[in-house]
Amino acid sequence: MNTVHSLPLPTRPILVVGATGAIGSQVVRALLAAGAPVRVFVRSPEKVRDLPETVERAPGTLEDPVAIARALQGVHAAFYVSPHDEQEEVFAERFVSACEREGVRLVFSGVYVDGRTRLARFAMRTVFGLMMPHYRPKLRLAERVRTSRTDPVVLSPGNYFQMDEVCRAHLEGGRYPFPLGLVPRVDTRDVGEAAARALLDPSVPSGGYALVGPESLDGEQTAAHWSAALGRPVAYLPDLEVTDAIFDRVYGGRKALDCQKSYRMVGRVKMKTSAADVQQTEFLLGRPPRSFAEYTRDVAASWLATAPAAWPAGLDAEQRLHEPVS
């Protein structure tokens, strides 16, 4: 059983920022599965209309310090993930400062480089920032969380398994287009459950934690797993133009740009998953992390169950990606 299900539950709610996003939604799912009280901070309650009525809605935006303070009143702990926005550092400072004033533990998930000391982390951020200038604001705001007076837990996930789902049409057409060198990857369900553990369990030590799957994967291995799960050949054919087009269509704006720049990096790096990182993940989960093979089997089964009998004639791969399934 996951560790989170055996924890005593707080009487006060857990605040989740970004509850409709890839990670925030999984944090909400994990907290609700554990029976914990949840409050979500959302721009519009309509966006979370499918959540149970027991979930408190705290309407507001990160532009509004009053709404942030109101949402944090009386909470047990808070989860924060930085939005894809030019103002991401301003928003993070506003939220972290509010948590400090309220004495609320903060659990954060995002781009982070860990080290034993501030100097070591500064050196690591400098090197990483030179390689990827686009990530400098994200690294700075993560360090702000790490050094805050919130008893913080900073989660640093690998590349999400679930990112592959936006290229479903290409996978079903026999091609994996995203460039992958050799990178640690992780299931967002595990990220959500690890965050829930840190939010519910005050005995989890403050600090930085890597979140990874059992092993790093390259593009060839990723394609091979999809081939096995889908029962048809899937070739690794990396293409940045195709990758860029997919993210422009699916997300657009700043989020598309962040994803595009991310894959320019993960297509070049070769980083093996360390035993220490797996151990940190297992500590928070109370079990081994999900494997990519398990994830692809789950997704392939769901796609088979929801796929239309036939795609309309003449519909290309990019159009199929956004064609509603009936």
Query: How far is Cα of residue 208 from the mean position of the Cα atoms in its chain?
Result: 15
Q: Are residues 172 and 296 in the same domain?
A: yes
Q: With 0-12 CB in 10 A as exposed, 13-18 as middle and 19+ as buried, what is 264? A: middle
Is residue 194 one of the residues assigned to a domain?
A: no
Per-residue CA distances from 156 to 50, 90, 207, 280, 313 (Å): 29, 20, 11, 11, 43
156-173 burial, b at 16+ Cβ within 10 Å, e below that, comes to bbbbbbbbbbbbbbbbbe
pTM beyond 0.75: the answer is yes
128 has a pLDDT exceeding 70? no
Q: Is residue 254 part of a domain?
A: yes
* Token pair 């093996």 in the structure block, residue: 272
Q: What is the predicted pLDDT for the residue at 322?
A: 40
Q: Binning pLDDT at 50, 70 and 90, where does residue 136 land?
A: confident
92 and 217 in a common domain: no
The DSSP secondary structure of 161-184, one letter per residue, reads: GGGGGGGHHHHHTTEE-S--SBEE
**CATH number for the domain harbouring residue 60:** 3.40.50.720
Confidence class of residue 320 from pLDDT cuts 50, 70 and 90?
very low
If asked whether residues 220 and 143 sit together in one domain, one would say no
Please indicate, yes or no, whether residues 149 and 15 belong to a single structural domain of this protein. Answer: yes
* Whether 145 and 219 share a structural domain: no
Q: Which domain holds residue 233?
A: 159-187+212-273+291-304
- For range 18-22, the mean pLDDT: 92
Q: What does the pLDDT average to over 79-107? A: 95
The reply to whether 240 and 266 lie within a common domain is yes
In this structure, are 147 and 237 located in the same domain? no
Same-domain check for residues 128 and 238: no
pLDDT tens sequence across 246-273? 999 999 999 999 999 999 989 998 999 9
Residue 198 lies in a domain: no
Whether 205 is covered by a domain: the verdict is no
Same domain? 133 vs 238:
no
Q: Count how many domains the chain has.
A: 2
Q: What percent of the chain has pLDDT over 90?
A: 77
Identify the domain boundary among 139, 157, 175: 157
Domain membership of residue 138 (yes or no) is: yes
Indicate whether 131 and 174 sit together in one domain. no
Question: Is 316 contained in some domain?
Answer: no
159-200 pLDDT, tens digit per residue, is: 999 999 999 999 999 999 999 999 999 999 999 999 999 999
